[in-house]
Amino acid sequence: MEVNTNAWHSDSHIVLAISTGVDSMVLLHQLLTNYRQTYRQITCLHVNHGIRTAAKTEQAFMQRYCKQHGVDLFVHELDLSHVIAAGNSIENEARTLRYAWFDQMMEELEADVLLTAHHLDDQIETIFYRVMTGRSTRSKLGMDECILRKNYVLAKPLLAVSKSEIRTYQHEQHVPFFEDETNQDNQYVRNDIRNRLLPAIDENRQLSTQQLLKLKAWHDEQLNVIHQEADHFILNKVKAETNNHEIHFSRSEFLKLRHTVKIVVLDKLIDKLALEQPISEKMYESWLTQIASNHAQCTLYTTDKWIIHIAYDKFILMANYEQALSQIKVNQPGTYTFSRYNIEIQADLPQDEFPLTIRTRQVGDKYELNGSTGHKKVSRLFIDEKIIQRQREEMPVIVTADEEIIAVGTLFLKQKYNELISISNMGEE
Q: Which residues pair with 338 in a beta bridge?
A: 341
Same domain? 140 vs 75: yes
Same domain? 153 vs 278: no
Listed in sequence order, the residues at least 6 apart from 355 whose beta carbon sits closer than 8 Å to its beta carbon are 329, 330, 331, 401
Q: What is the pLDDT of residue 368?
A: 93
Domain boundary among 319, 339, 370: 319
Q: What is the pLDDT of residue 37?
A: 97
Predicted TM-score (pTM) of the model is 0.70
Asked if residue 106 is part of any domain, the answer here is: yes
Asked if residue 109 is part of any domain, the answer here is: yes
Same domain? 279 vs 392: no
Asked if residue 332 is part of any domain, the answer here is: yes
Asked if residue 364 is part of any domain, the answer here is: yes
Q: Is 94 helix (H, G, I), strand (E, B) or coil?
A: helix
Backbone angles phi, psi at 239, to 5 degrees: -120, 145
Asked if residue 224 is part of any domain, the answer here is: no
Q: What is the pLDDT of residue 255?
A: 96
Backbone angles phi, psi at 379, to 5 degrees: -60, -35
Q: What is the pLDDT of residue 244?
A: 59
Q: How far apart are the first and last CA of the chain?
A: 59
**Alpha helices (runs of H) in 74-210, residue ranges in sequence order:** 81-85, 90-109, 120-132, 163-173, 189-192, 198-203
Same domain? 295 vs 342: no
Q: What is the pLDDT of residue 47?
A: 94
Give the domain range for residue 253.
Answer: 230-319
Q: What is the pLDDT of residue 40?
A: 97
Distance CA 196, CA 117 (A): 22
Same domain? 147 vs 40: yes
Same domain? 83 vs 194: yes
Find, among 263, 306, 310, the residue nearest to 283 by Cα: 263
Count of domains in the chain? Answer: 3
Find, among 246, 234, 265, the residue nearest to 309 by Cα: 246
Q: What is the pLDDT of residue 317?
A: 86
Q: Which residues pair with 41 in a beta bridge?
A: 13
CATH number of the structural domain spanning residue 261: 3.30.465.60
pLDDT, tens digit only, all 429 positions of the chain: 999 999 999 999 999 999 999 999 999 999 999 999 999 999 999 999 877 788 999 999 999 999 999 999 999 998 877 766 666 667 778 888 899 999 999 999 999 999 999 999 999 999 999 999 888 878 899 999 999 998 999 999 999 999 999 999 999 999 999 998 878 888 888 899 999 999 999 999 999 999 999 999 999 999 999 999 999 999 999 998 756 578 899 999 999 999 999 999 999 988 877 766 678 888 888 889 889 988 787 778 766 677 788 888 999 887 765 545 688 999 999 888 787 788 999 999 999 899 999 999 998 999 999 988 899 999 999 999 988 877 888 899 999 988 999 999 999 999 999 999 999 886 553
Same domain? 32 vs 152: yes
- Asked if residues 388 and 380 have their Cβ atoms less than 8 Å apart, the reply is no
Same domain? 314 vs 336: no
Same domain? 72 vs 191: yes
Same domain? 192 vs 279: no
Q: What is the pLDDT of residue 429?
A: 38
CATH number of the structural domain spanning residue 181: 3.40.50.620
Q: What is the pLDDT of residue 315?
A: 92
Distance CA 12, CA 287 (A): 46
Q: Which residues pair with 43 in a beta bridge?
A: 15, 72
Find, among 56, 66, 57, the residue nearest to 29 by Cα: 66
Asked if residue 7 is part of any domain, the answer here is: no
Asked if residue 308 is part of any domain, the answer here is: yes
Asked if residue 242 is part of any domain, the answer here is: yes
Same domain? 258 vs 404: no
Distance CA 321, CA 390 (A): 11
Same domain? 288 vs 340: no
Chain centroid to Cα 54, Å, comes to 36
